[in-house]
Structure 1
Amino acid sequence: MSRPIIIDCDPGHDDAINLILAFASPELSTLAVTTSAGNQTQPKTLNNALRILTLLKRTDIPVASGASKPLLRDLIIADSVHGESGLDGPILPEPGFDPEPLHAVELMAQKICNSREPVTLVPTGPLTNIALLLATYPELQTNIERIVLMGGAGAALGNWTPAAEFNIYVDPEAAKAVFESGIPITMCGLDVTHRAQIHEHEISMIREIGNPVARIVADLLDYFCIYHKDPKWGFDGAPLHDPCTIAWLLAPEIFTTQECWVGVETTGELTRGMTVVDYYNLTANPANCELVVDVDRLQFVNLLLERLKFYN
């Protein structure tokens, strides 16, 4: 039986590739796609999700827009990384269907309530929608199996500030609420995503697969690589942050994890959005997170290459 999931995202080049990977994987059943503001504003991230699902001919999947700003703060976007549209680079189809009239939180609640199996939430943007869901519908927590998120950093340095990863920095209050929810969490932070790099010759391999979706993925990566070629990052390629979430669900054996307690800093002058990881159990807090710390990069890339052939 396929595993029911809901993907909450802010597309975003790596979010788009994450969606493409998910819909090429029969092991997963995507009940809905919801969007938040993050990499771009809410109207743009919603439009991007609709365009990707139109490309994939999955207009049967309900899509709904959610929070347009963080819980308590002004919105920060990553247009320096993802461009004016949020998906600059490839030529994508215009949306071939309309979003649901429901708010993202209502759509998620509906799908979780109606699912016979516990649902896994896969947020790859700021955690605003997830925090709102848990606060509005606490009775549904028993039908949430796990939250597999992209965000944060443990031993790794931040990528938006010296201390913080972008998704957590944008809405640290929401992240704090999610990590304190008691729901099992798998955290794919910069510790692993910076190891999940794709190199230029591998982008060529994706393009050579030859189907329209693979070519779009190659075009997405061509643009995404521009930002990551800055020597300050020290990358050999581009880190595929968000696809680590779906890849972990599909092939957890290629990842290394550690159970630990993770807290989120919301008030620090220099550390807003920092994920504080208690590697040595110094706080004596019980573990609330399965922290993903490493990946077999070649197996990760091979998984993506193999799944892209699904669209032939």
Structure 2
Amino acid sequence: MPSILMDVDTGIDDALALVYLLSRPEVQVRAITCTAGNVGARQVALNNLALLELCGRQGIEVAIGAEVPLEIPLVTTEETHGPQGMGYAELPPPAQQVSPRHAVDVWVEEARARPGELTGLITGPLTNFALALRREPGLPRLLKGLVIMGGSFNYQGNTTPTAEWNVSVDPHAAKEVFAAYRGLPEDKLPLVCALETTERIELRPEHLRRLGEAAGAGPELVLPGQPDGQLSASGNPLVAALSDAVRFYLEFHRHHGQGYVAHMHDAFAACAAVERTPFATRLATVDVETDSPLLVGTTVADFRGLWGLPPNARIVSGNDPGHCFDELISSVGALARGLGGQ
């Protein structure tokens, strides 16, 4: 049974990643830690708690961690994910409270208590994990594995011409994390889901239509000709929430000349973390630029050993978007069907 410790900055694609993992009956989400990124860390926590309740899964610990990056000011991206991070979706205030534990304590204490059992999945900036490594440098060996959504390698960035969002929010944290994995056995190296493969996971209106059908709620029609901000009429609360969130994301991509699509970076990382979608990898030595004003946040991969340093990452080099969406739609649809119109 996969046991996942998530660190997120929810976020529309983080939300789909979380809902997907909750939809897998064999997956145990051990805890969810929150970092500032798409929105502030406290709003991230509220989003996660509300999603847990929407999915009927109260009782999973949600802990707040770093509210600012290690060394630079926080930049959030409400223009991409909406004022609360959930696009047009407005989730009711959750009844469950945030954990009294700090996110760093969760990472360190859970990994120590369950050595070799937990897979870490980080879909936001790496701030919390960097701080946890400072507290427990043995964390990479205590975890079963680590999956990171972040970076771009020989591929255009989505925040600057060379930098991906999660890394650009806290490049110093990313640099510390990759440095901590240098010299470890290959099976302990982080699986890095970077833009060159996550941007292939393009959610389109047909995917939302299929999700509604899989949930037994009828086709969910989110179409480019509809007015911006039109809300879902679905009687299924989970379908409606995801639809309203994703519509915002589709509109954002269209406004930036990318078409009526939505890149579901984090959902692919979640599928990869539980090995439910195929992918290929390449070993590399990764470092992060933190000093150059022009290139700050750039992730650099040495695939050829030119630096003479051991690998510290397994970078996803190929994936199957069709398979990934089939997995997401069937699994999330089954969860939504089980929730019905309640």
Mapping 1:77-96, distance limit 5 Å: 77-96=76-95
Paired position in structure 2 for 1:241? 265
Q: 1:82–1:224: 8 Å Cα contact kept in structure 2?
A: yes
**TM-aligned CA deviation for residue 236 of structure 1:** 5.7
Q: How far apart are 1:297 and its partner, in Å?
A: 1.2
1:14-63 deviation line (CA, Å, top 9, x unaligned): 01100001111133211100100000112211111111111112111011
1:179-258 alignment to 2 at 5 Å?
A: 179-182=178-181, 183-208=188-213, 209=215, 210=217, 211-230=236-255, 232-233=257-258, 235=259, 237-251=261-275, 254-258=278-282
CA contact (8 A) 1:206 1:218 kept: no
Aligned to 2:298: 274
Larger CA deviation: 202-211 vs 264-273: 202-211
Structure-2 separation of matches of 1:215 and 1:258 = 38
Q: Do the aligned partners of residues 206 and 263 (structure 1) sit closer, same or farther apart at CA in structure 2, a change above 3 Å counting?
A: same
* CA 1:249–1:27: 2 relative to 1, 3 Å: farther
Aligned length in residues: 310
Report matched runs for 1:140-159 at 5 Å. 140-159=139-158
Give the Cα separation in 2 of the matches to 1:74 and 1:231: 25
Residue in 2 aligned with 1:304?
328
**How many percent of aligned residue pairs carry the same amino acid?**
32
1:228 Cα shift?
0.7
Q: Encode CA deviations 1:254-293: one digit per residue, 9 max, x unaligned.
A: 2222111111111112110100011333223222111112
Q: CA separation in 1, counterparts of 2:200 and 2:45?
A: 29
- Cα separation, 1, equivalents of 2:242 and 2:307: 43
Q: Deviations over 1:113-172 (max 9, x none)?
A: 222543111111000000000111224443112210111001221100111001000101
TM-score of the superposed pair, with normalisation by structure 1: 0.94
1:60 and 2:62 aligned = no
One-letter amino acid of the structure 2 residue matched with residue 86 of structure 1:
G
Tell me the distance in 2 between the aligned counterparts of 1:76 and 1:33: 22
Q: Distance in 1 between matches of 2:292 and 2:5?
A: 32
Query: Which residue matches 1:15?
Result: 14
Q: CA deviation at 1:252?
A: 5.9
Q: CA RMSD in A?
A: 1.6
After TM superposition, the score normalised by the length of structure 2 is 0.86
Q: Does 1:103 align with 2:102?
A: yes
- Unaligned ranges ≥5, structure 2: 182-187, 218-235, 338-342
Contact in 2 for aligned 1:50/1:95 (Cα 8 Å): yes
Between stretches 256-265 and 297-306, larger displacement belongs to: 256-265
**Alpha-carbon distance in 2 for matches of 1:93, 1:248:** 30
Q: What are structure 1's unaligned runs of at least 5 residues?
A: none
Q: Which amino acid aligns with 1:205?
A: R
Q: Contact (CA 8 Å) 1:262, 1:276: kept in 2 or not?
A: yes
Mark the structure with the bigger radius of gyration.
2
**What is aligned with 2:4?**
5
Contact 2:63 2:103 in 1 (8 A): yes
Give 1:262's aligned residue: 286
Q: What residue number does 1:72 align with?
A: 71
Q: Tell me: CA distance 1:133–1:65, structure 2 relative to 1, closer, same or farther (3 Å).
A: same
How many Å separate the matches in 2 of 1:81 and 1:20? Answer: 20
